[in-house]
Chains A and B, each alone.
Chain A
């Protein structure tokens, strides 16, 4: 056997063919480490990455928040969160090893001294490794503290590290309106470069959301149809059967439009409508997504509907309306349902209505994209005695029952040519052996690796707000209260005016 030239990914010949590419040794600092997000999502995600051997060969965790805790107390709390919320049974030896070196730094996030102490812990890890480890700061705090933390990191010089990468992960919401988003971007980018900033929209970490790209760009059969000539309209739905639970404080300030449409649903829209990127690199993908957002004008008032759930029934049991929920202020006009009719004004999509709707306490929990094709121009069959053909519909279900359904017309068995719609179904659960990782597992790993493809760029965030801001302002200025819809229903009747025909049943 002869001597050959080594080949591999990024110049490392040993990485070729590996499913899991190496991640540089990293210390992850979670601000807000005792909060709900950390306990339910971030720490279990870290455990699952550790379990799979996906974390960097050297990995350290630092938790920080206001609570006065010792390192041991933090480790115990973290372990309890992992045991409760991990998607797989916990291997205690791995959990112990993960948390063995974890440190906790308590303090107020607006106290400069906190960052000095965090810096000392980071330096100690570097000294122990005898090399600078990459640093990843995860902001799982209240949104108002995002700029405070970022600027404090900058003031302490923690925004950069010689011979190591420093990254900051910022949770949603990124601002409460366009002005706030711009100000937050300005303050964040006053400290970090855009390449260091990872704005999370956890929907993008979901396998089924990423599958929208695979579905569109790895299958030749759909592309010829993917335009105004064949597509009649698109419905993007994110419906929940639950109410606001104990989140009245957050939800009443946010509302449905800010909570889901401004971020997750517009992201789904961009993936559905974007042009094929030249590569799957972060900026190539995000450039195309931004082009879609810039082609969307804010909808006029008559093409935006807001509503609030009123008392109704779910699972056969009576449930209160929004205004009767604990913690909701009397007379609140916060929308628990929002629907928009948008247009993407470009060559591909001009004239195709893109309908977005989201709501709490609807009939069922489902997140899906339904693409309805135009009807056939001429039908030779007599549809008497049958439902008859209906336009083809392609439904990409994000959750639950993740999969793709294609509605086709088929002949009903019998002596007459009678037609009815049937479904061709692909379900993730039946076609793949492996369990999908949680969105946060993928995103945390990508952030540590420096791959921003599944994160939102500054111009993307602002473009999203530019679409939603006028709607929010109009609702805020309106003297009309939100429409009502009974809990457990399909939503308000007013939303029917947005669509030519009828919405897909939730």
Chain B
């Protein structure tokens, strides 16, 4: 039976150099003591979290399973703190399935607000060199993110955390100029994008893309950005000219211009939806044909409507990833590059600007 073994170090009023030396020592000590263990080297995750929510963030990261970062540098922000405290932990499974276990390293550094502007000088010695570094600051602290941009390769964020979608998209847009952004709100739309793409993939159906005249995206009330990004993706991929959507009922609505005419776009909040993200997408063409996807049991429920109004409904298979799955996917995506995000973001911003 595999057993988790931890090696721990902690120090009050410490320095980045001392923490780095301690981490190095812990890894050597751990690999010597437990043969067959190797440090994981997929990515560094630097998270900046409010001290009072530290436990919640640790729980979220603990649930992402195999997708956990290799080295997790947690900057715990405590109001008024003047000095640095740190606790480093090296964990590994002893006697893994194949006789090999990977080590994961976590260092929690307690910092004060005054440290945030130059947080890079604290974090830089703590990340593994030549391994991709991802920054995640779920409780705001934009000054910390700005400070860390130079040493990171990507920033993980969730636009849903920002109450106003316009501000959220503007923030992502600014960051995207300097680094690669992975927005969890974009990732919540991945299965929807894949299924919409598949629905129009058969050559006979592809022509319908040019004649789309109605698009409706339904979303949880706090996930308007996810809906905007999906609409933005369609606009960017299909070459639509976007214009500002206006408030209608609780949602947003307006018209964008395709090569053949106008497309009515509606983003509708769904009050009964429990999980963050999207709950439905419907695309219809002038002929009356269309497809609609909505959350179902065991996958997405797809309804295809023919020109004559005939409808067929079936389940497109797929498991819900849940929020831990989305976060894990965010970490994985931080090591990839999705060239369709920036154009989708630009189009989404065009629909609220």
A-to-B contact residues, CB < 8 Å: 1-6, 8, 11-20, 22-25, 50-53, 55-59, 91, 93-98, 100, 128-131, 400-401, 425, 427, 429-435
Q: Which one of B41, B67, B199, B259 contacts A430 once the chains associate, using CB atoms below 8 Å?
A: B41
What is the CB-to-nearest-CB distance from A278 to chain B, in angstroms, rounded to a whole number? 25
The reply on B331 being an interface residue by CB < 8 A is yes
Q: Is the CB of A57 within 8 A of B316?
A: yes
What is the CB-to-nearest-CB distance from B273 to chain A, in angstroms, rounded to a whole number? 17
Q: Which one of A19, A22, A98, A431 contacts B317 once the chains associate, using CB atoms below 8 Å?
A: A98
Q: Is the CB of A1 within 8 A of B242?
A: yes
Q: Knowing A24-B201, A97-B315, say if A429 contacts B100 (CB, 8 Å).
A: yes
CA distance A57 to B98 in the complex (A): 36
Q: Knowing A17-B339, A22-B194, say if A6 contacts B238 (CB, 8 Å).
A: yes
Chain B interface: which size bin?
35 or more
Q: Is the CB of A8 within 8 A of B317?
A: no
- On chain B, the residues within 8 Å of A435 by CB distance are 66
CA distance A58 to B313 in the complex (A): 10
B-to-A contact residues, CB < 8 Å: 38-43, 66-68, 70, 98-100, 102, 191, 193-203, 206, 209, 234-235, 237-242, 257-259, 297-299, 302, 306, 310, 312, 314-320, 328, 331-332, 335-336, 338-341, 346-347, 350
- On chain A, the residues within 8 Å of B341 by CB distance are 17
Q: Is the CB of A24 within 8 A of B239?
A: no
Known pairs A3-B258, A130-B310; list 13 more (Cβ under 8 Å). Answer: A1-B241, A3-B240, A17-B340, A19-B336, A56-B198, A95-B298, A97-B317, A425-B38, A429-B40, A430-B38, A433-B43, A433-B66, A434-B66
Q: Is the CB of A13 within 8 A of B237?
A: yes
CA distance A96 to B68 in the complex (A): 30
Q: Which one of B43, B234, B318 contacts A52 once the chains associate, using CB atoms below 8 Å?
A: B318
> When A and B form their complex, which 7 residue pairs have the shortest distance between CB atoms, in order from nearest?
A97-B298, A53-B318, A17-B340, A22-B198, A14-B197, A50-B317, A22-B201
Q: Knowing A11-B203, A12-B206, say if A18 contacts B194 (CB, 8 Å).
A: yes
- On chain A, the residues within 8 Å of B200 by CB distance are 12, 14
Q: Is the CB of B198 within 8 A of A433?
A: no
Q: Which among B191, B258, B317, B341 has the greatest number of chain A C-beta atoms within 10 A?
A: B317
Q: Which one of A19, A24, A58, A94 contacts B319 once the chains associate, using CB atoms below 8 Å?
A: A94
CA distance A53 to B234 in the complex (A): 20
What is the CB-to-nearest-CB distance from B37 to chain A, in angstroms, rounded to a whole number? 10
A-B contact pairs, 13 of them (CB 8 A): A3-B258, A6-B237, A14-B196, A14-B200, A14-B201, A17-B338, A20-B194, A24-B202, A51-B318, A57-B316, A96-B298, A425-B38, A433-B328
Q: Is the CB of A91 within 8 A of B241?
A: no
- On chain A, the residues within 8 Å of B350 by CB distance are 1
Q: Is the CB of A58 within 8 A of B314?
A: yes
CA distance A6 to B242 in the complex (A): 15
- On chain A, the residues within 8 Å of B298 by CB distance are 91, 93-98
What is the CB-to-nearest-CB distance from A213 to chain B, in angstroms, rounded to a whole number? 19
Q: Is the CB of B319 within 8 A of A91?
A: yes
- Which B-chain residue is minimally distant from A101 (CB atoms)? B314
Q: Knowing A14-B196, A58-B314, say if A432 contacts B42 (CB, 8 Å).
A: yes
- Which B-chain residue is minimally distant from A56 (CB atoms)? B198
Interface of A: prevailing SS = loop
Q: Is the CB of A3 within 8 A of B257?
A: yes
Q: Which one of B237, B259, B320 contacts A14 once the chains associate, using CB atoms below 8 Å?
A: B237
Q: Is the CB of A16 within 8 A of B237?
A: yes
What is the CB-to-nearest-CB distance from A32 to chain B, in angstroms, rounded to a whole number? 23
- Which A-chain residue is minimally distant from B191 (CB atoms)? A53
CA distance A129 to B311 in the complex (A): 11
- On chain A, the residues within 8 Å of B40 by CB distance are 429-431
What is the CB-to-nearest-CB distance from A11 to chain B, in angstroms, rounded to a whole number? 6
- On chain A, the residues within 8 Å of B340 by CB distance are 16-17
Q: Is the CB of B318 within 8 A of A94?
A: yes
CA distance A96 to B317 in the complex (A): 10
- On chain A, the residues within 8 Å of B206 by CB distance are 11-12
- Which A-chain residue is minimally distant from B310 (CB atoms)? A130
- On chain B, the residues within 8 Å of A17 by CB distance are 338-341
- On chain A, the residues within 8 Å of B98 by CB distance are 400-401
- On chain B, the residues within 8 Å of A50 by CB distance are 299, 317-319
CA distance A37 to B30 in the complex (A): 41
- On chain B, the residues within 8 Å of A8 by CB distance are 237
- On chain B, the residues within 8 Å of A23 by CB distance are 198
CA distance A95 to B318 in the complex (A): 10
Q: Which one of B42, B242, B299 contacts A431 once the chains associate, using CB atoms below 8 Å?
A: B42
CA distance A13 to B343 in the complex (A): 13
- On chain A, the residues within 8 Å of B332 by CB distance are 433-434
- Which A-chain residue is minimally distant from B239 (CB atoms)? A4
What is the CB-to-nearest-CB distance from A45 to chain B, in angstroms, rounded to a whole number? 14
- Which A-chain residue is minimally distant from B201 (CB atoms)? A22
- On chain B, the residues within 8 Å of A12 by CB distance are 197, 200-201, 206
- Which B-chain residue is minimally distant from A23 (CB atoms)? B198
- On chain B, the residues within 8 Å of A16 by CB distance are 237, 339-340
CA distance A12 to B306 in the complex (A): 20
Q: Is the CB of B297 within 8 A of A93?
A: yes
- On chain A, the residues within 8 Å of B339 by CB distance are 16-17
- On chain B, the residues within 8 Å of A431 by CB distance are 40-42
Q: Knowing A12-B201, A430-B42, A434-B332, say if A401 contacts B100 (CB, 8 Å).
A: yes
- Which A-chain residue is minimally distant from B234 (CB atoms)? A14
What is the CB-to-nearest-CB distance from B169 to chain A, in angstroms, rounded to a whole number? 14
- On chain B, the residues within 8 Å of A131 by CB distance are 202
Q: Which one of B43, B239, B299, B328 contacts A97 once the chains associate, using CB atoms below 8 Å?
A: B299
Q: Is the CB of A57 within 8 A of B100?
A: no
Q: Is the CB of A430 within 8 A of B102?
A: yes
- Which B-chain residue is minimally distant from A95 (CB atoms)? B298
Q: Which one of A1, A94, A400 contacts B299 once the chains associate, using CB atoms below 8 Å?
A: A94
- On chain A, the residues within 8 Å of B315 by CB distance are 97, 100
CA distance A340 to B249 in the complex (A): 76
- On chain B, the residues within 8 Å of A3 by CB distance are 239-241, 257-259
- On chain A, the residues within 8 Å of B70 by CB distance are 430
Q: Which among A2, A93, A100, A433 has the greatest number of chain B C-beta atoms within 10 A?
A: A433
Q: Which among B258, B319, B341 has the greatest number of chain A C-beta atoms within 10 A?
A: B319
CA distance A383 to B174 in the complex (A): 60
Q: Is the CB of B237 within 8 A of A57?
A: no
- On chain B, the residues within 8 Å of A52 by CB distance are 318-319
- On chain B, the residues within 8 Å of A429 by CB distance are 38, 40, 100, 102
- On chain B, the residues within 8 Å of A128 by CB distance are 312
Q: Is the CB of B335 within 8 A of A433?
A: yes
CA distance A59 to B43 in the complex (A): 36
